[in-house]
Amino acid sequence: MLVILVLMAAASFAGAIALPLLYPLPSAAHIHLALAAGIMPLIFGAMTHFVPVLTRSAAAPKGVRLIPLLASSAGTLAFFSFAASNRIYYFAAFFALALAMAFAMWIMRRANKAVGKPHPCLNWYLGAIACLILAFVAVLAMTLWPEQRIALKRLHLHLNTLGFIGLTAIATLQVLLPTAVGRPDPQAAARLRQDMKWALGGALLISIGAAWFKPLAWTGAVLWAIPLVHLCKAWFTLYFREIRQLHGAASSLAAALTGFFAAIFFGALHTGGILNTANTAHAFIFAFLFPLVTGAVSQLLPIWARPGPQTPWHTLARQHLGKGGGYRALLFLAGGLLLGLGWREGMLLSIAALAAFLLQLATTARPAPVT
């Protein structure tokens, strides 16, 4: 299932880039194609992998493993709703809200039944799901509060990007990059415990500020920056050599952290009316999400494709997927920053990087076994 979600996310990314070039679509359509139909199901799927690890419990049951696929259908429905300019997205939001609440309940049950104390990364996941739930509530509130529609749209956007996706990503990066490098980060758990309040508080303040009171958004951006600075300091101390490599997952994951810094800054500019919604979302998708997903997939896809003991096949697959990871990360970052500033030509850089990764992904399905 996780492999299918990776392929679906890759197809959503490719569609989000290609469709607007082939057919005029509202910006909300291709943004939802990338985020709602691609990223949201993939995050749910990744959580079904990480939550049992973080709680030292059994694999997710079949019903929970179906939630990412159902979330994909909700995201796809939202995309078609915006593409066709109708309001079916209200139903999609209600459906996704029910799924998110069910998923949060499963995580809380696993936390309560964990063997020992759950890893603090789990609290970040719960905070992320809470932001997602609030984002869907904001959509449903538009029917009851139509005069606040624009404000609620901004609230929905930032709760999704800097809340749900941001909290999930930054928490997972602190576990994933040490795994990719092969050396532990001794302070990761303590840092996650201490920084949770700054990240969640920052995400909420940015979202509320973007909707109704701009000064809150700048305060939120400063708060969100605190855990990012702590993480940067740790990575530069522990993994500076690895994140400078032009191959492997580490450089892509480090680029994703840089892209998230940029996303918070662009989000604050959007709040101040300096950047429009489309440019802000493009910066988030291309400068942050693309290096994040390609780096994470480079490390995790071999495990998801062939669970069990690690073999030479897994090593070869990771090497193949990680080849050129540094080059791709730089192209994604440059493309995303240019798009965020309104230079449409920046998309060409991101298209080149994504096309290269999709080719690697296609040719890594079953690399030749080692004999």
- In tens digits, the chain (371 residues) has pLDDT values of 788 898 898 889 888 888 877 878 888 898 899 899 999 999 999 999 999 989 988 889 999 999 999 999 999 999 999 988 888 999 999 999 999 999 999 999 999 888 778 889 999 999 999 999 999 999 999 988 999 999 999 999 999 999 999 999 999 999 999 999 889 999 999 999 999 999 999 999 999 998 998 889 899 999 999 999 999 999 999 999 989 888 888 999 999 999 998 888 887 777 777 777 777 888 888 889 999 999 999 988 888 888 878 888 888 988 899 898 889 999 999 988 888 888 878 888 988 998 888 888 888 755 444 43
313: helix, coil or strand? helix
For residues 297 and 361, is the Cβ–Cβ distance under 8 A?
yes
pTM over 0.85: yes
Q: How many whole angstroms separate alpha carbon 77 and alpha carbon 75?
A: 5
pLDDT at 366 (0 to 100): 54
pLDDT of residue 106: 96
CB 208 within 8 A of CB 271: no
Single out the residue of 289, 298, 302 nearest to residue 358, CA to CA: 298
Q: How many CA atoms lie within 13 A of 342 on its CB side?
A: 6
In angstroms, the CA 321 to CA 327 distance is 13
Whole-number pLDDT of residue 368? 44
For 252, the enclosing helix (H) or strand (E) is helix 249-271
CA distance 201 to 204: 5
pLDDT of residue 85: 82
Residue matched to tokens 């392929």? 7
Cβ atoms within 10 Å, residue 19: 16
| Nearest by Cα to 310 from 302, 322, 299, 320 | 302
